[in-house]
Amino acid sequence: MAVIDELKDLISKKLSVDLSQVTENAKFTDDLGADSLDLVELVMELEEHFEIEISDEDSQNFLTVKDVADYIKKKKS
């Protein structure tokens, strides 16, 4: 499964939103209804699922699903 597909599935489950709402350009707060606690929990879930470390500074730059996908691809390469 591609990173973006895994990511969309994980976000859909974690934020309890329909998978169809989780598009690459979807903004976590505006489009997916995430609050700051949701985002912290999501980052922890991403670290565990993809076996990567995400600094607080880096996570502050995650505005869209694509931002996270690009970050994960970069960390995994």
From first to last of its 77 residues, the chain has per-residue pLDDT tens of: 799 999 999 999 999 999 999 999 999 999 999 999 999 999 999 999 999 999 999 999 999 999 999 999 999 88
Question: How many CB atoms sit inside 10 A of residue 27's CB?
Answer: 14
CB 1 within 8 A of CB 10: no
**Cα angle: 53, vertex 36, 59; to 5 degrees:** 30
Where do the domains of the chain lie, and which CATH numbers do they carry? Answer: 3-76 (1.10.1200.10)
Annotated catalytic residues are 35
pTM of the model: 0.92
